């Protein structure tokens, strides 16, 4: 179980990105994080694996205090938390295979990086992940030769390489068209259902939230303004989350 | 959106309709400012003219123009080919001064070419008109005055025959009065052969009387020397670029703000690391020295060397395999860690020994092969030099690596110390450590300064610096008191940047002077100077590339639990390889250009020849070198831009 307690993040320029955020996520849950751009969704997800250092508050995962972990402990925590990004964040000039293998780095002795080698078991595992996302024939292509949807599938395969117990997905489909969006979301659903991986996914479109999420929390200016089942988001709640002028589309 | 625009417009109108008094005043002030700036510029350029001695009258003066034309003509006739010349002397006799009954020279043989003078006798130093007939069409040559003794010939001027082989020219004679007839001599020179129709000439050596056959025209000695030196120039640039690149690549990371910004540590770790680093470096040096001694003893026996070079790497590989397991499943226990560290340090020492053995083998093989390879002996000498370089580098490298490792250990010790101490105690301990670290750094610096200025008084090189350093350290500790992290990365960044900028500011042409004193005149000094400049320049260019990489992949790789080394290898390196290659090519191009003139200061290469020829006023030879430089620089420019296109 992940529990976020009184999490606050103030950036160096004084921006209050997260303001006393507290919530819990059960194991195997699919939690959607919604809110306007700039409401703190990305900051929240990055605080959980400490890509961004929280200013205050605690994040406890399966009894381990992530916020208090040393660099070495953090490495071991991070390797069990997969992450998927809006802009895929692949290394463009590297091969698809290398990008997927990068997901295994947390399990590999850092000394091996000097000679740029991965153990055979990792290479086999990466090949299997590529089969899973249907890109086995693209393994030797450069990452930037792939289309957006394919790149995000590489991103998913990279996260799966970590044998994650939790996946943080930061707007995973915001750069993709609706058809591709569903294909990526179905991978996340599959990982959630079959592998029992907890998923925290920030999303823009409410229909995706309704379709895939077990539960949703909503941020507005760094505060949690809603927490509950997706179907509970009625018009009044919607205006709380997206502002009074907002209108529902789609 | 539309709403907003409507609201804004009236405000703008108010502004336009009634310009405020302050605006008017601002306009006037601006006008005065522009006038002042123009006046300042005029004064500036007037002074610049004064200082740079701009003198247009001098440019137009006849003597200057004659000189310019002479140089330009020489440059237009680069001395690529040497012709054998056949000289023909045509003499006409005159008398200076005129004898009482006048002077009639013997009649010339009008069957062949001949010259006559008008008048045939004159006052010494007077003007004389010389006419030539029956010469080769368009023949050219020089006119000389030869006294009766015939021991000298003084050049009076030159002549140029027309299409009929005739010339008339007037020259001044010399103030030499003689009673015997004197001679005006026209010397025509004819080149033997042409590029399309070369001939061979048999020459007789005036001293030994031996005969040699040479081709005319043939490639000149200047051209051959130029070829040698231009090759030297290109390879000098290659060596300088390679060495500079190898050093600049790792250094560039220290000057990249985006990477360094994130490096912060605790005061405890920082101070312990600073204290541990010199100890590590000293240990590394000791280890290297020990290994070298052992290596020298072992190197006497070739069999031992070869067996060592086979067995040691296998053992080291084995040790590394054991100490660095490929998969890192659980955090290792303390005992395991200590065992691994011990095995790794033993393996490291064995590695140093291996390298010494390798160096010994290379020197041996090189020296043994050199006499047998005839004209390819440079390959053997290269192997032997590599052995020497390796031997030099091992000590420095092991000191650096051991220092680095101990720094890491010190920093780790700091982390675990903090974990065991109460926060209050840590703060006090930090102050003490900061003072100690400050003192250590200060003493090391003072030792270096003491060595430079030859100070041997321990009060000045140890105790006073230690006290000052401790005070500064303590001050730093107080400033950082209670802070959990110290941004050490940015400090390193600023130091690295400052050093690179300082080195880059010194032209290689100046640096080479120091290196010439150190290693002597020649291309080696030039290569060292260029390498130093290249290191600083490339490190800066590279670091700017690192700063402009996209952060997404780094974030993604970090999120997988990768260490700093891993994310640099897998997320940073792939992004910077193409620009690094491109900049290296560009730098080679620059270095070729620089190395063409580095010889001016004694750095070897073609500049040395060029400078010599300019100083000897041998402009035709200088022209050959200038053309060679132009060709090489232009083709490097083209080549490097084509190659760069492929990588970016």
B616: domain CATH number is 1.10.3720.10
| Contact A109/B at CB under 8 A | yes
Angle of CA points B633, B639, B645, to nearest 5°: 135
As a three-state string, the secondary structure of B364-391 is HHHHHHHHHCHHHHHHHHHHHHHHHHHH
Q: Give A-chain residues touching B545 at CB under 8 angstroms.
A: none
- In A125-154, the residues whose Cβ lies within 8 Å of chain B are none
Per-chain mean pLDDT for chain A: 90
Per-chain mean pLDDT for chain B: 85
Contact A129, A122 (CB under 8 A): no
pLDDT of residue A212: 92
Q: Are residues B323 and B398 in the same domain?
A: yes
Residue A47: pLDDT over 90: yes
Q: Is the residue at B10 inside a domain? A: no
Question: What is the mean predicted confidence (pLDDT) over A51-67?
Answer: 92
Q: Are residues B171 and B131 in the same domain?
A: yes
pLDDT confidence band for B648 (50 / 70 / 90): low
Looking up tokens 């020492």 gives B349
Q: Is the residue at B320 inside a domain? A: yes
pLDDT one-digit tens code per residue, A162-193? 999 999 999 999 888 888 889 999 999 999 99
Of the partner residues B557, B563, B574, the one whose CB lies closest to the CB of residue A93: B574
Work out whether strand A166-170 and strand A198-203 pair parallel, antiparallel, or are unpaired.
parallel
Contact A248, A238 (CB under 8 A): yes
pLDDT one-digit tens code per residue, B441-471? 888 888 888 888 887 777 777 888 888 888 9
Q: Are residues B188 and B205 in the same domain?
A: yes
- Give the gap in angstroms from C-alpha B328 to the nearest C-alpha of chain A: 5
- The answer to whether the Cβ–Cβ distance between A113 and B565 falls below 8 Å is yes
Residue % of chain B over a pLDDT of 90: 18
Contact B433, B411 (CB under 8 A): no
- Residue B619 belongs to what domain range? 227-249+509-648
Instruction: For chain A, list the strands marked E by DSSP.
Output: 2-10, 16-25, 30-35, 56-61, 64-65, 81-84, 166-170, 198-203, 215-220, 223-228
Q: Are residues B239 and B291 in the same domain?
A: no
- The answer to whether the Cβ–Cβ distance between A114 and B561 falls below 8 Å is no
- The answer to whether the Cβ–Cβ distance between B561 and A83 falls below 8 Å is no
Distance CA B454, CA B447 (A): 10
Distance CA A57, CA A51 (A): 15
Question: What is the mean predicted confidence (pLDDT) over A238-248?
Answer: 77
Rounded to the nearest angstrom, the gap between the alpha carbon of residue A77 and the centroid of all alpha carbons in its chain is 15
Q: Is the residue at B443 inside a domain? A: no
Domain boundary among B354, B388, B409: B409
Domains and CATH numbers, chain A: 1-80+165-245 (3.40.50.300), 90-163 (no CATH)
Angle of CA points B141, B144, B149, to nearest 5°: 145
pLDDT of residue A18: 92
- Give the gap in angstroms from C-alpha B554 to the nearest C-alpha of chain A: 8
pLDDT of residue B7: 40
pLDDT of residue A249: 61
**Axis crossing angle, helix B334-369 with helix B267-299, rounded to the nearest 10:** 40
Q: Is the ipTM of this complex over 0.90?
A: yes
Looking up tokens 């296109």 gives B645
Domain boundary among B409, B441, B456: B409
pLDDT one-digit tens code per residue, B565-624? 888 889 998 999 888 988 898 888 889 888 888 888 888 888 888 988 989 988 889 999
What residues does B140 pair with on adjacent strands?
A: B160
Q: Are residues B202 and B316 in the same domain?
A: no
Q: Residue B124: which residues within 8 A CB-CB, separation 6 or more?
A: B96, B97, B173, B174, B175, B176, B177
Q: Are residues B290 and B362 in the same domain?
A: yes
Q: Is the residue at B193 inside a domain? A: yes
The residue among B561, B574, B575, B648 with the most chain A CBs within 10 A of its CB, best to mutate, is B561
Residue B13: pLDDT over 80: no
What residues does A59 pair with on adjacent strands?
A: A4
Q: Is the residue at B123 inside a domain? A: yes
Q: Are residues B89 and B195 in the same domain?
A: yes
pLDDT of residue A224: 92
- Give the gap in angstroms from C-alpha A112 to the nearest C-alpha of chain B: 7
Nearest to B116 by CA among B130, B96, B135, B95: B130
Instruction: Among B41-55, B267-281, B297-311, B508-522, name the one with the lowest average pLDDT.
Output: B297-311
Q: Are residues B191 and B213 in the same domain?
A: yes
Number of domains in chain B: 3
Residue B98: pLDDT over 60: yes
Q: Are residues B138 and B233 in the same domain?
A: no
Q: Is the residue at B628 inside a domain? A: yes
Residue % of chain B over a pLDDT of 70: 95
As a three-state string, the secondary structure of B252-295 is HHHCCHHHHCCCCECHHHHHHHHHHHHHHHHHHHHHHHHHHHHH
pLDDT one-digit tens code per residue, B264-315? 888 888 888 888 999 999 998 898 888 888 888 887 888 888 888 888 889 9
- The answer to whether the Cβ–Cβ distance between B575 and A77 falls below 8 Å is no
Two tokens at A65?
């205090």
Two tokens at B387?
């052995």
Q: Residue B226: which residues within 8 A CB-CB, separation 6 or more?
A: B606, B609, B624, B625, B628
**3-class SS at B88?**
strand
pLDDT of residue B14: 43
pLDDT of residue B19: 53
Q: Are residues B120 and B160 in the same domain?
A: yes
Length of chain A, in residues: 250
Question: Does the predicted model carry a pTM greater than 0.95?
Answer: no
Question: What is the mean predicted confidence (pLDDT) over A138-146?
Answer: 91
The residue among B351, B413, B553, B579 with the most chain A CBs within 10 A of its CB, best to mutate, is B553
Q: Are residues B99 and B182 in the same domain?
A: yes
Residue A198: pLDDT over 90: yes
Two tokens at B164?
């009929």
Q: Are residues B231 and B360 in the same domain?
A: no
Q: Is the residue at B523 inside a domain? A: yes
Q: Taking the CB of residue B154, how many other CB atoms lie within 10 A of it?
A: 12
pLDDT one-digit tens code per residue, B388-427? 888 888 888 889 989 998 988 888 888 888 888 887 788 8
Query: Using CB atoms within 10 A of its CB, is residue A132 exposed (0-12), middle (13-18) or buried (19+)?
Result: middle
C-alpha distances in Å from residue A240, one per residue of A244, A245, A247: 7, 10, 12
- Give the gap in angstroms from C-alpha B287 to the nearest C-alpha of chain A: 22
- Give the gap in angstroms from C-alpha A75 to the nearest C-alpha of chain B: 4
Two tokens at B103?
């002077």
Q: Is the residue at B463 inside a domain? A: no
pLDDT confidence band for B2 (50 / 70 / 90): very low
Length of chain B, in residues: 648
Instruction: Among B41-45, B130-134, B195-199, B274-278, name the one with the lowest average pLDDT.
Output: B195-199
Distance CA B43, CA B84 (A): 59
**3-class SS at B161?**
coil
- The answer to whether the Cβ–Cβ distance between B331 and A72 falls below 8 Å is yes
Backbone phi and psi for residue A36, each to the nearest 5 degrees, phi listed first:
-65, 165
- The answer to whether the Cβ–Cβ distance between B325 and A94 falls below 8 Å is no
Domain boundary among B375, B409, B443: B409
């Amino acid at each position: 179980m992940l529990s976020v307690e009184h999490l606050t993040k103030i950036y160096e320029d004084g921006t209050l990105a997260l303001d006393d955020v507290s919530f819990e996520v059960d194991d195997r849950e699919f939690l959607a994080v919604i809110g306007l751009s700039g409401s703190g969704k990305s900051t929240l997800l990055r605080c959980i694996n400490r890509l961004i250092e929280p200013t205050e508050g605690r994040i406890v995962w399966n009894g381990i205090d992530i916020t208090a972990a040393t660099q070495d402990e953090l490495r071991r925590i991070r390797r069990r938390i997969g992450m998927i990004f809006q802009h895929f964040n692949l290394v463009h000039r590297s091969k698809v295979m290398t990008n997927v293998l990068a997901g295994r780095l947390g399990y590999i002795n850092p000394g091996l990086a000097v000679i740029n080698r991965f153990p055979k078991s990792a290479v086999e595992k990466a090949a299997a992940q590529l089969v899973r996302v249907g890109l086995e024939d693209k393994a030797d292509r450069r990452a930037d030769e792939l289309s957006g949807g394919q790149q995000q599938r590489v991103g998913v395969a990279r996260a799966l390489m970590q044998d994650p117990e939790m996946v943080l997905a930061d707007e995973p489909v915001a750069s993709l068209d609706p058809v591709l969006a569903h294909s990526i979301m179905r991978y996340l659903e599959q990982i959630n259902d079959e592998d029992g991986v907890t998923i925290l996914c920030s999303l823009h479109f409410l229909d995706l939230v309704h379709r895939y999420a077990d539960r949703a929390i909503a941020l507005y200016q760094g505060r949690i303004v809603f927490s509950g089942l997706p179907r509970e988001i009625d018009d009044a709640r919607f205006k709380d989350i997206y502002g009074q002028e907002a209108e529902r589309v789609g | 959106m539309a709403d907003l625009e409507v609201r804004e417009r009236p405000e703008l109108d108010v502004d336009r309709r009634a310009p405020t008094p302050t605006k008017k005043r601002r306009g006037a002030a601006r006008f005065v400012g522009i006038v002042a700036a123009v006046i300042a510029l005029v004064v500036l350029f007037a002074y610049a003219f004064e200082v740079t001695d701009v003198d247009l009258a001098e440019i137009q003066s006849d003597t200057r123009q004659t000189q310019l034309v002479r140089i330009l003509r020489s440059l237009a006739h680069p001395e690529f080919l040497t012709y054998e010349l056949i000289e023909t002397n045509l003499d006409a006799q005159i008398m200076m001064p005129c004898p009482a009954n006048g002077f009639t020279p013997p009649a010339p043989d009008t069957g062949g070419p001949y010259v006559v003078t008008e008048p045939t006798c004159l006052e010494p130093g007077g003007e004389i008109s010389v006419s030539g007939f029956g010469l080769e069409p368009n023949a050219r040559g020089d006119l000389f005055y030869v006294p009766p003794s015939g021991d000298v010939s003084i050049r009076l001027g030159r002549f140029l025959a027309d299409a009929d082989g005739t010339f008339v020219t007037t020259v001044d004679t010399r103030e030499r009065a003689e009673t015997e007839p004197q001679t005006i001599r026209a010397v025509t020179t004819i080149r033997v052969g042409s590029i399309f129709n070369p001939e061979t000439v048999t020459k007789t050596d005036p001293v030994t009387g031996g005969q040699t056959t040479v081709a005319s025209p043939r490639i000149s000695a200047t051209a051959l020397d130029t070829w040698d030196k231009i090759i030297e120039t290109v390879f000098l640039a290659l060596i300088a670029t390679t060495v500079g690149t190898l050093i600049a690549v790792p250094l560039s990371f220290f000057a990249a703000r985006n990477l360094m910004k994130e490096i912060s540590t605790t005061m405890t770790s920082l101070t312990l690391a600073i204290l541990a680093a010199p100890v590590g470096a000293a240990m590394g040096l000791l280890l290297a020295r020990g290994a070298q001694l052992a290596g020298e003893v072992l190197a006497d026996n070739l069999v031992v060397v070869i067996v060592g070079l086979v067995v040691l790497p296998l053992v080291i590989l084995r040790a590394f395999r054991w100490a660095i397991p490929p998969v890192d499943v659980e955090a290792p226990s303390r005992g395991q860690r200590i065992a691994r560290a011990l095995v790794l340090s033993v393996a490291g020492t064995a590695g140093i020994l291996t390298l010494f053995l390798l160096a010994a083998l290379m020197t041996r093989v090189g020296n043994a092969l050199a006499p047998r390879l005839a004209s390819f002996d440079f390959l053997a000498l290269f192997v032997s030099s590599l052995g020497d370089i390796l031997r030099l580098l091992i000590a420095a490298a092991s000191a650096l690596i051991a220092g680095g490792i101990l720094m890491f250990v010190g920093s780790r010790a700091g982390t675990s110390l903090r974990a065991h101490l109460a926060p209050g105690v840590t703060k006090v301990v930090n102050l003490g450590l900061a003072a100690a670290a400050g003192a250590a750094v200060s003493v090391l610096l003072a030792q270096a300064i003491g060595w430079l200025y030859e100070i041997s008084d321990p009060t000045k090189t140890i105790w006073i610096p230690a006290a000052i350093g401790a005070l500064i350290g303590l001050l730093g500790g107080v400033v950082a008191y209670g802070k959990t992290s110290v941004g050490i990365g940015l400090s390193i960044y600023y130091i690295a940047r400052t050093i690179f900028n300082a080195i880059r500011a010194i032209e290689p042409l100046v640096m080479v002077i120091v290196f010439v004193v150190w290693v002597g005149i020649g291309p080696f000094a030039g290569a060292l100077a260029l390498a130093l400049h290249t290191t600083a320049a490339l490190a800066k260019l590279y670091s700017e590339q690192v700063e402009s990489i996209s952060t997404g992949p780094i974030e993604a790789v970090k999120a997988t639990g990768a260490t700093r080394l891993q994310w640099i290898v897998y997320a940073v390196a792939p992004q910077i390889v193409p620009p690094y290659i491109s900049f290296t090519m560009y730098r080679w191009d620059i270095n070729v250009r620089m190395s063409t003139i580095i010889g001016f200061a004694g750095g070897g290469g073609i500049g040395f020849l060029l400078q010599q020829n300019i100083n000897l006023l041998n402009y035709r030879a200088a022209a050959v070198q200038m053309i060679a430089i132009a060709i090489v620089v232009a083709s490097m420019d083209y080549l490097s831009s084509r190659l760069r296109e492929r990588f970016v």
